[in-house]
Structure 1
Amino acid sequence: MTPTKDAAARDLTLRSNKQIRYYEVGDPTATPVVLLHGSGPGATGWSNFSGNLAAIAEAGFHVLAPDMPGWGDSAAVKTTEMDHDVDLVDFLDAVGLEKVALVGNSMGAHTAVRFATLHPERITHLVTMGASLGKGFPSSLFGPQDGPSEGLKVLVRAYKDPSPENMKALVEIMTFDKARFATPELTAARSEAASARPDHLQNYVEGLPDGAPIPFKVDRSLIPNIAVPTLLIHGRDDRVLHFETSLWLNAHIKNSRLVLLNQCGHWAMIEHADEFNRLVIDFLANN
């Protein structure tokens, strides 16, 4: 049974004095899995993974989904002061987890990949979906070559004005099945969640010249050193971050496999939740 948002919510303070909200489901003595959300306005551990937390926990895992600093109910942080790798290390230390499986979407995938290159002793498995390698990705065979993707332009517009209309455009571009997922209820909820934290919105927009959402990028030369079992999931119809990023990762991480989902946008964990849950559970249990 999926717990309520309030029942799963936890709060703690990192050693940097940043306040963190996170969501926790499952047996605390079970194998730990940390889910890392993307960078969209209104994105949180809960909004990205509410359809996955309980299923993964019921399969025998201890599941945690933090709101990273700068998002959700966690502390506001200016882009120039943001380092999600440091925050993730501090979070794991605060909750007493030495080694975890990391599952990340978009910005969260980038954080997970970077973490795997910097802290190989602290990660058991790496799962990405809609992975990002940051600005200046070295190959663009299929994706846009003249600046941000169509989806990233919509995302930035929604940060500047998180109106229901702009949130509807955002949800539509994040998913393949717009009729099913871009509902008035979801777009209104995302608009309200984003508008509730004007400090996050302002920091993101002001930080765009400094590399928002995250200024510190993974050193791509270290990616071939990743040795943990790696599962790369990407939507064939992703209009935010092209699946060629995951093709590149698959070519450079030796112990990796790629699942490319047709009729799937940027939010595989939402749009194909049951299949996503099965893939992740099987991968974590058998690798």
Structure 2
Amino acid sequence: MTNTTLALNPNDLGRFVQTETYRMHFYEAGAGHPIILLHGSGPGATGWSNFWPNIEHLSATNRVIAVDMPGWGKSDTENDEFGYTHTESLIRFMDELNIEKAALVGNSMGGMTSLITAVKHSDRVSHLITMGAPAPGVNYFGPSDGPSEGLKILFHAYREPTAENMKRLVQIMCFDEEMATDELAQLRSEAALANPAHLESFLNRSFDPSFNTIFPQLSNLEVPSLFIHGRDDRVVGFENSLRLVSLVPNSRMLVLNRCGHWAQIEYPDEFNRTVASFVASN
């Protein structure tokens, strides 16, 4: 684990774009082949709070874009009127930025979006990288009945976004509780409380129903794929990535011991090197 000192300021990187449906906020740095970073769920999740240790390093060789998806951060709250999933929102976002093809790097919920996009719009995805992404199936090494310990805490924090619950949320995401700093909890808390409509929207939303149906289609995927998972993930167990790597033909898996749900935050140096090398060499 590494304490990362940043030269980049999120206030200097933030931009907005109006898509067909939503005004979306994102952070952008660097030039070269596009890498789009897709955050997970949880109150206070944003492109920056999920990827602050990674943007600077990856932008040394690539155009890096960390998106606030609709319903998170400074982007518009999701609206049932449109009926679009995150996959459609992502494609419309790419269209507005004139990005024909990009490497998708998705954490948890962002991993789901990446997987669905790779199946439905494979011509728009150059590389598929997930961290802590879910995959339907039965767990043999961890609990299989009902939501995980981490998901229970996540939903509780949505219902009661207190400072104490935010600290518990950050702690459950990391293996090493020293990583769950007051500063990180405060960052998440401020982002969550800045837009209460986002919290209500999440509790009333349902995730893309096509996820279970597209899952078998991953066996036909030709996109180079990398599945990263913390061995000690208490939110989405590492067996999910075992299912992914066994199904996707052109894929590999990296398991990090003593690591929770946020591999990109707990092991930023290894994560950054691995992602940059994977995108450059495949």
Is this a same-fold pair by TM over 0.5? yes
**Cα shift readout 1:157-189 (whole Å, capped 9, x = no counterpart):** 0000111110111011000010x2222222122
Range 182-191 or range 87-96, more displaced: 182-191
Aligned counterpart, 1:255: 250
- Identify the match of residue 9 of structure 1 among 7, 14, 19: 14
- Identify the match of residue 272 of structure 2 among 255, 274, 277: 277
Amino acid at match of 1:147: G
1:223 aligns with 2:209: no
RMSD of the alignment, in Å? 1.4
1:70 aligns with 2:71: yes
Residue 83 of structure 1 contacts residue 215 of structure 1 at CA under 8 Å; is this kept in 2? no
Aligned counterpart, 1:31: 33
**Cα shift readout 1:110-150 (whole Å, capped 9, x = no counterpart):** 100110001111111110000123xxx22221232220000
**Cα shift readout 1:187-227 (whole Å, capped 9, x = no counterpart):** 122112111110000111223xxx35x45425112111111
Paired with 1:147 and 1:83, the residues of 2 have a C-alpha distance of 24
Aligned counterpart, 2:3: none
Amino acid at match of 1:61: N
Displacement of 1:228 in angstroms is 1.1
Paired with 2:7 and 2:52, the residues of 1 have a C-alpha distance of 8
Paired with 2:157 and 2:15, the residues of 1 have a C-alpha distance of 28
- Identify the match of residue 56 of structure 1 among 26, 50, 58: 58
- Identify the match of residue 190 of structure 2 among 189, 192, 196: 192
Paired with 1:265 and 1:131, the residues of 2 have a C-alpha distance of 12
Aligned counterpart, 2:46: 44
Residue 49 of structure 2 contacts residue 187 of structure 2 at CA under 8 Å; is this kept in 1? no
Structure 1: runs of 5+ lacking an equivalent: none
Displacement of 1:102 in angstroms is 0.5
Paired with 1:223 and 1:234, the residues of 2 have a C-alpha distance of 18
Of all paired residues, the percent bearing the same amino acid is 48
Paired with 2:138 and 2:144, the residues of 1 have a C-alpha distance of 9
Amino acid at match of 1:184: D
Displacement of 1:153 in angstroms is 0.3
SS at match of 1:155: helix
SS at match of 2:28: strand
Correspondence 1:235-250 to 2 at 5 A = 235-250=230-245
Distance 1:77 1:215, change over 3 A: farther
Aligned counterpart, 2:142: 143
Aligned counterpart, 2:95: 93
Amino acid at match of 1:99: K
Distance 1:261 1:42, change over 3 A: same
Displacement of 1:247 in angstroms is 0.2
Aligned counterpart, 2:118: 116
Paired with 1:5 and 1:112, the residues of 2 have a C-alpha distance of 24
Distance 1:191 1:79, change over 3 A: farther
Distance 1:157 1:85, change over 3 A: same
Displacement of 1:12 in angstroms is 0.8
Amino acid at match of 2:119: T
1:176 aligns with 2:178: no
SS at match of 2:59: helix
Structure 2: runs of 5+ lacking an equivalent: 1-5
Paired with 2:129 and 2:195, the residues of 1 have a C-alpha distance of 29
SS at match of 1:41: coil
Paired with 1:83 and 1:201, the residues of 2 have a C-alpha distance of 17
Paired with 2:249 and 2:103, the residues of 1 have a C-alpha distance of 18
- TM (norm. structure 1) is 0.92
Amino acid at match of 1:94: E
Paired with 1:250 and 1:145, the residues of 2 have a C-alpha distance of 19
Structure 1 ranges of 4+ moved more than 6 A: none
1:104 aligns with 2:103: no
